Structure formats: structure tokens, C-alpha cells
Amino acid sequence: MSSSQHTSRPTSHPRSRHRKRKSRHLPIYLAPALVTCFLFLLVGFAFAGSSDRIAPGVKIAGVDVGGLSAAQARQKLEKASAKLTWVPVEFVARDSHYEVAPAQLGIIVNWDEAIEKARRDGDGITPLRGYKRLEMRLLGRRIMPSVKLSSVAMTRLISTISRSVDKPVREPALVLDGSQPRVVAGHKGLALDKKEAAALVVKALGSLSRSTVVLPVRVTSPSVRRSDLVRVAGQVQTAVSAPVLLKLGAARWTIMPAQIEKMLAFPHDGQRNLSIGGSEANAYLRSLAKRLDRPAKNADFAISGNNIRIVPARAGHVLDMQRTAKAILTAALNSTGKRLAPLAMKNTEPQQTTEQAEAMGITGLVGSYETTFTGTSNRIHNVQLVAKLIDKKLIAPGAVFSFNKTTGQRSAEKGFLTAPQIANGKLVDALGGGICQVSTTVFNAAFEAGLDIRERVNHALYISHYPLGRDATVNWPSPDLKIRNDTGHWLLIRTFSSYSTLLVAFFGTPQHRKVVSESAPLTITGPPPVKKVLDPDLAVGKKVVDDPGVSSSSTHVHRRVYSADGKLLHDDTWYSVYRSSPMVVRVGTKAPTKTSTTKTSTTKTSTTKTSTTKTSTTKTSTTKTTTTDTTMTDTTETDTTETQTTPTTTTVGH
């Protein structure tokens, strides 16, 4: 081979040679890590134990349950708990000692929950579980179970302990010794920490060990220092050293030192400052307010016949008692200048302004109705009382007026008296008797005004002096009388009552509606039932009618309401069904008396007289019975005739 010829051989790259050297050293680097990992796993598996067993080192309520299954732990805990059910725990609060057993508070311990927590705390993936259990073995794990108990019994126990332990704090006080103020020292108090004490009681009674438990008692200190009251004592001497002059404009009032002394309110309940207050101060300020106050007046409506006008609203002013009291105190504590206190007044605005009243559109009469009535003084009182309750009632456009909602439940507290009233088809004395006079008058006023009447119920018995088929009864809470305002403007109800008349009027924007109505004749639907009453003082065979009764009847009223331009607004029919009331008939049960002639003689004369007497008695009895029957028939016919009459405005009865 010539020198010019050269055989080339591949040479390795430097990076390639480095990788080969690194690969030869890699097992040496991995060995410690692999050993560590192996040891970690070995320890984890060694202490992992069984997941069905509670980790060693766990105590529930002070009882060691480590290494036990859940069932074994429950059995052990329940057995230990049963032994202590009536074993008391001693609780100490200062010098008082109390022994309380779990059963006295109805303690129920939730062992299952505590066992599950213990099992869960020592569970996990096998190697990790081992380390968790190793930690629990070395450091221990204390688990307190949750406890249920009687809250009433616990409250009673804590209250009992508190009453014996608590000693209220006494704040320093300022008193007058004659006319000189003197400071009375206070003292600290003691108070059971009820929240913490209750928690300690629950924990101790839920535990399976017994030891004396000291309950926390806190020392409470006065919130006011004696030095604060010494300062106030000096202020009291200044306040009563001279009169105070009150002023409002050109008016002046003088408060003498003796009066100022009565009006001073010394610090109390943790307060530190002198003030004007108390019953004497309030009485004095109220007397001033009575002379100075000019309350605001709402816009109102004044009625004159069928006309109505708005009485303008007026703003007012009243004494600001709080600011005035501060002004009096400031003046009383002034020892160098004039002791002058300006009275503080504050303005008050009406709830309903003139503009609001004008916007309601109440400009004239929409409809009215008047009834007359008689009755007892109690009945007249009830009528006037209910009339006042609905007087000046405003009904918004589209709103529904409820008689019951407006007047409320009838009660003696509201001033209602006992008077005749129809109840369950009978006339009885009841609280609020007579109010249906008002509801009937309201119904007829709304009827004549052409308003939308939503609810109306007739009386159980027919009352001939109400407009036929146009009576309206109410009771609490039902039946009710309800009327909807369909005029598009506000409505105002006004009532005017005397001892014999009641007028109800609806004022608003006059609608000029046309009301056309007709009442069907009263139809007798059945005779009155007969109620017989045995009378031992009335001879056998004789009958006397004490009450002719009333037949049941019915009627209906049809009303059509047209707007001013002739449009039909309402087409209503009200049906009324009236019950009957029984005819009361006394029936004689007295046996006839025997005459002495039968015993003394058997002569024809005596026999003839006795026979004649019997015949005469029979005739008399027959005549009386015939007369009674005729009277009953006449009464029924007369009653039927009267019920077909339709009075317009007069009413008597409920």
C-alpha cells in the first residue's frame, strides 16, 4: 500500500462517549432511591393492619378501642356506657356542688358516628394507611362522640346553677341626701358562663370516665367609675342652684329649682351622664306640649245637603320633647351666664294634602239611602257605633269595600252591647244586635247608586219593613257585604245617624246612572211548623195559640244599571229565601174536676144538673176551639197580605 493510500476508520463522537459513561454509572445513582422506596413500602405495609380494624392508639370517650372491629368497639362502649347511666358527675361552681347523672338529662351518645370516624381516620391506601396508623399509635387519637340530650332539662340545670352562683354587679349610684347629692359605691358581680358551662356538662356526661368538673364563673365589674359620678354630683348642685327660664317667641315660663330637682335623671344602668327625664319631667313636658302643640290636619270633605267641598289641609307644629329636655339641662348647667332654654318645636305635615284630596275627584253625591228604626237603647247604640266605624271610609277606584273588614269583629272591648239579633232563624239577644240595620242601609245606598255589589246575603227571617228582597245581613267573619267601586274615581262613605234615622251616602264623581229595578211578589212557600207545648194548667181539649208563627217565603229583585249614555253596566238578580218560624200552641193536659153532687144524691134532679153541666162544658170547649182556629187563619192571611207590601225607606227589626 502506498503512502498516498489511506484507510479511514470511523471514530466515536465525544457526546456518544459521555452517554456511555453515564449509562454505566446510572444504576449506582438509582440504588439509594430504590432502597428508600422499598423501605417506605415495607414500613407502610408493616403497620397498615386490617382496614376492618380500628387503628391502635384510638380512644373514644376515654376508652381504648384500638385493634377492635366496629362491632367489638360498639359492644365495649355500650357496655361501659350502660354501667354509668346512673353514675353521676360532680359539677362545682364556686361553693355549690351538683351531682348529675346522664339519665337525668336524657343523654344519648352516638357511638356509631364516633366509631365510623375512628375507622375513617385510620383508613386509606395500604402503604399510606400504615403511616397514618403509625402516627395514631405514637401520638394517640382522642375522639369524643356527639351527644343528644333534653334541651329543657339542660336549660333547667344551667338556670338552677346560675341562680345559686350569680351575684349581680352593682353600679355606683348617685342619690340625694336631703338636697345634697351623694355617691354610693358599687361592687363587682359574679356570673356563670352559661354557654361554656353547658358544653362542659355535655362533654362530661358523654364521657366514660368520672371526675369533678369545675364550671366557669366570671367576675363582672361595674361599667361606671366612682369618679364619673363625683363629676355628676357637682353638676346636680349647679342645676338646682337657680331657676331656668324657658322661652318661645315672646312667651316665657320659669322652672324653679325644686321642680328642676324632680326632673333630673341620675345616671343608671351603666350610664355616666346627667339628663332630664323620668315621670316628673315627662309630665311637665306633656303639659307644655298640650298648650303649644298645633297638630297637622289632613284635607277633609265637608257635606252640605247633596253638595261636598274640600276643607284644605294644614301643616302643624309640636313640641320636640327630646330637644327641649336637652335645652333645659344645658341651661341648668350654666353657672356663669343666663339660664335661658329655648323651646324646640318641630313641624308636622298632614298625611293627606289638599292636592291629594282634589285628585280624588270627589265632587258630588253618587247615591244615598235612608232608613228609620226603633228598638232598645242597646240596639240604637250598636247602630250608631257601626255607622261611625264606616263613616268617612274612602274606597279607591276598583277597590272592594268589605263591611266586615271595615268594622272588624264585634266585641265588648269595642263598645258593642247585647241587643236582639236574628241567629239560626230565631230572634235572640246577642252582642252587636242591630248592626244589620246599617248593612241593609249601605246595601240600598249602593243599590240606588248603581254600584257593583259583589256579595250580599238576606236575613234568615223575612222583615216586612225592609224594602222587599233588599235586606242585607252580616256576621263575623261571614256573611259579608262587599261593594266594588266601579266609578273610576274615589268614593267617600258618609253616615248620619240619630236615635231613629240612618242615612248612608256615597260621594264621588257623579255618574248619572239610571237604575231600573223590580221586586217579585213575596211567595209563601210553606206554612209555619206547629210547636205544641203541654200546659198542665189548661183543661184537656183546650188549645191556645201563643205565637201564630211565620210562613216560609221567597222573592227576588232584578236590577239593571245604565250609564249616562245608555250603556248597560250591570244586570243583577238577588234571590232571597226566608225561613218559617213555628206556630206555638199550648195544649191543655189538666183533667176535669169531679163535682160533689155525684156523691150526695141519686135523685133525678141531681142527675139532670150534672148532665146539663157536661153538655154546657162541651159546647163551650167547641166554641173556644173554633174561635182559635179562625184566629190562626186570619193571622196567616193578614201576614201574607202585609208581606206583599214593599216599603221604601222604613225599617224595623235586626
Residues facing 524 on adjacent strands: 553
pLDDT tens per residue, range 319-328? 999 999 999 9
Pick from 380, 355, 288: which is nearest to 327 by CA? 288
Q: CA-CA distances (angstroms) from residue 124 to 48, 51, 127, 140, 141?
A: 9, 8, 8, 18, 17
Banded pLDDT at 653 (limits 50, 70, 90): very low
Count CB atoms within 10 A of the CB of residue 127: 16
User: Letter for the amino acid at 545?
Assistant: V
Q: What is the pLDDT of residue 22?
A: 52
Any residues with CB less than 8 A from the CB of 584 and at least 6 apart, and which? 531, 533, 545, 546, 547, 549
pLDDT on residue 272: 83
Q: Does residue 167 carry a pLDDT above 80?
A: yes
Instruction: Mark residue 329 as left, alpha or beta (left: phi above 0; alpha: psi -120 to 50; beta: remaining).
Output: alpha
Q: ω before 527 within 30° of 0 (cis)? A: no
3-state secondary structure (DSSP) of residue 458 = coil
| Distance, CA of 545 to CA of 534 (rounded, Å) | 12
- Tell how far CA 414 is from the center of its chain: 18
Q: H helices of 349-451, where?
A: 354-359, 377-390, 403-407, 435-449
Specify the higher pLDDT residue, 429 or 282. Answer: 282
pLDDT digits (tens, 9 = 90+) for 207-216: 888 899 999 9
pLDDT tens, residue by residue, 48-69: 667 778 888 888 888 888 888 8
Q: How far is CA 422 from the centre of its chain?
A: 31
- Residue 327, Cβ neighbours under 10 Å: how many? 20
Contacts with 307 (C-beta within 8 Å, 6 or more apart), sequence order: 364, 365
Tell me the sheet residues that pair with 187. Answer: 170
The pLDDT value given to residue 632: 33
Cα separation, 534 vs 389, in Å, equals 47
Instruction: State how far the Cα of 186 lies from the Cα of 518, in Å rounded to an integer.
Output: 86
How much is the average pLDDT of 357-379? 94
pTM, 2 dp: 0.58
What domains are defined for the chain?
227-357 (3.10.20.800), 360-586 (no CATH)
Instruction: Quote the CA–CA distance of 513 and 651 in Å, as a whole number.
Output: 26
CA-CA distances (angstroms) from residue 159 to 120, 153, 166, 302?
39, 10, 10, 63
Q: Measuring CA to CA, which residue among 648, 653, 643, 622 is closest to residue 576?
A: 643
Whether residue 41 has pLDDT greater than 70: no
Distance in angstroms (rounded) separating the CA atoms of residues 314 and 333: 38
pLDDT at residue 40, as a whole number = 65
Mean pLDDT over residues 623-648, rounded? 33
Strands (E), 80-179: 89-93, 96-100, 108-109, 141-143, 147-148, 173-177
At position 154, the amino acid (one-letter code) is M
Question: Which uninterrupted H or E stretch holds 611?
Answer: helix 604-643
Q: How far is CA 435 from the centre of its chain?
A: 27
Joined together, the cell numbers standing for residue 168 give 349581680
- The percent of residues above 90 in pLDDT, for the chain, comes to 55
Question: Which three cell numbers, joined as nine digits, stand for 497?
Answer: 245617624
Kindly tell me if the per-residue pLDDT of 530 is higher than 70: yes
Please, which pLDDT band fits residue 14 given cuts at 50, 70 and 90? low
Q: Are 420 and 435 in contact (CB under 8 A)?
A: no
Q: What is the pLDDT of residue 310?
A: 96
461: closest CA among 430, 495, 427, 438?
427
Instruction: Quote the DSSP letter at residue 461.
Output: S
pLDDT of the residue at 652: 31
What are the start-end ranges of the E strands in 121-278? 141-143, 147-148, 173-177, 180-184, 189-192, 213-214, 217-220, 244-248, 251-255, 264-265, 275-276
| pLDDT of 485 | 98
pLDDT digit string (tens) for 461-518? 998 889 999 999 999 999 999 999 999 999 999 999 999 999 999 999 999 999 999 9
Report the chain's terminal Cα–Cα distance, integer Å. 153
Confidence of residue 612 (pLDDT cuts 50, 70, 90): very low
**What is the per-residue pLDDT across 579-601, written as a single tens digit (0 to 9) for each?**
999 999 999 998 887 665 544 44
Spatial CA neighbour of 451 closest among 500, 379, 504: 504
pLDDT tens figures, 298-314: 999 999 989 999 999 99
The pLDDT confidence band at residue 180, using thresholds 50, 70 and 90, is: confident
Residue 589 C-alpha from the chain's centroid: 58
16 pLDDT band (50/70/90 cuts)? low
φ, ψ of residue 502 to 5 degrees: the values are -140, 125
Do residues 517 and 443 lie in contact, with contact meaning Cβ atoms separated by under 8 Å?
Answer: no
Bond prior to 88 in cis (omega within 30° of 0): no
CB 312 within 8 A of CB 290: no
Q: Alpha-carbon distance 538 to 531, whole Å?
A: 16
The DSSP 8-state label assigned to residue 69 in this structure reads B
pLDDT at 575 over 60: yes
Question: How many beta carbons lie within 10 A of that of residue 503, not counting itself?
Answer: 17
Of 615, 622, 397, 560, residue with least CA distance to 488: 397
